[in-house]
Amino acid sequence: MSAMTMTLDLHAPRFAWREHGVALGAAVALHLGLALLLLNLSQTSPLTPAVSVVMTTQLIELPAPVVAPPAPPQPVITPPAPAPEPVVAAPPVEQADLAYKRVEQERQEKARQLKREQQQRAEETRRQEQLARETQQRQAQEREREQQLAQARQAEADSRAAAARAQAQAEAEAANSQYLPIAKQAPDYPQRALDRKIEGECTVAYRVNAQGRVEDPQVLGDCHPLFVKPSLAAAKSFRYQPRIVNGQAVAVASVKNTFSFKIR
């Protein structure tokens, strides 16, 4: 005889017990029938009256299972969505025109600024070139002026050299026809100089005219006052043979004569 174990789901709903009760009754009746049949077949002795077994079934209604309320759903934390890209609305037509005009004005202003800078650089270049030209011209003028001064100095030196040569030639010619003194008288020794025993020299310069006479005698240098008057008087008494130049008598200037006053 087999036994059948049924597991009741206490957590099933109430209407499911009714279905299981019907099935359970059918299964029990079937098993009882099979048991009786097997029992009859296995007995060889005279059958004794079978004791009828009455199986009483009772449906027990179990209380409905207490179903725990479902746990509240946990809030789902979702990461913040990225901020949407700002949508730049297209400017109206007037704003677009204003923006274009502003950009165009800025471009034109930059172009004018660039042009001004280029003009300033060009002006600075021209000014430097003009300054360089003026410097070169000034240097050329200074060189030319120095050359002119050098030429003038050279010409003056040549003129002086020519005059010196002419004077030297005239002196040479005069030396060839040297005038000769005809008469020279020594000056009188001053008495006061003799008394005081004063000695000295006195140089007199004068001009000999074409007739050989002395003109404009003058005392030169340091001459004692006592010797001035006799020296001038003696020079005026001199007579010379006139100098002849190219066949003519000429005057001779700056003739000098030194008188010596010494006591013997």
Residue 19's nearest CA partner among 5, 6, 2, 1 is: 6
DSSP one-letter string for 72-139: PPPPP-PPPPPPPPP--PPPPHHHHHHHHHHHHHHHHHHHHHHHHHHHHHHHHHHHHHHHHHHHHHHH
Q: 213: which strand partners?
A: 239
For residue 93, report the phi and psi dihedrals to the nearest 5 degrees.
Answer: -65, -40
Q: What is the pTM of this model?
A: 0.34
Q: Could you tell me the residue ranges of all domains in the chain?
A: 1-43+51-62, 92-176, 181-261
More confident position, 48 or 159 = 159
Residue 223 per-residue DSSP state: -
DSSP 76: P
Contact 193, 202 (CB under 8 A): no
CA 239 vs CA 171, 182, 185, 246: distances in Å: 21, 5, 10, 22
Beta bridge partners of 245: 248
Least confident window among 91-100, 144-153, 245-254: 91-100
Q: Which residues on neighbouring strands pair with residue 219, listed in sequence order?
A: 204
Residue 114 pLDDT > 90:
yes
**DSSP code, position 177:** T
- What separation in angstroms does the CA of 40 have from each of 35, 95, 128? 9, 112, 147
Q: Is the pLDDT of residue 40 over 80?
A: no
DSSP 22-66: HHHHHHHHHHHHHHHHHHHHH--SPPPPPPP---------PPPP-
Mean pLDDT, range 108-120, rounded to an integer:
92
What is the pLDDT at residue 186? Answer: 86
Tokens of 99: 């923006």
Residue 66 has pLDDT above 90, yes or no: no
pLDDT at residue number 228: 92
Q: Is the pLDDT of residue 174 over 60?
A: no
Find where tokens 């010196």 sit.
164
Task: Please give the CATH architecture assigned to the domain spanning 181-261.
Answer: 2-Layer Sandwich (3.30)
- Token digits of residue 120: 């300033």
Token pair for 209 = 């005219």
C-beta atoms surrounding 124 within 10 Å = 10
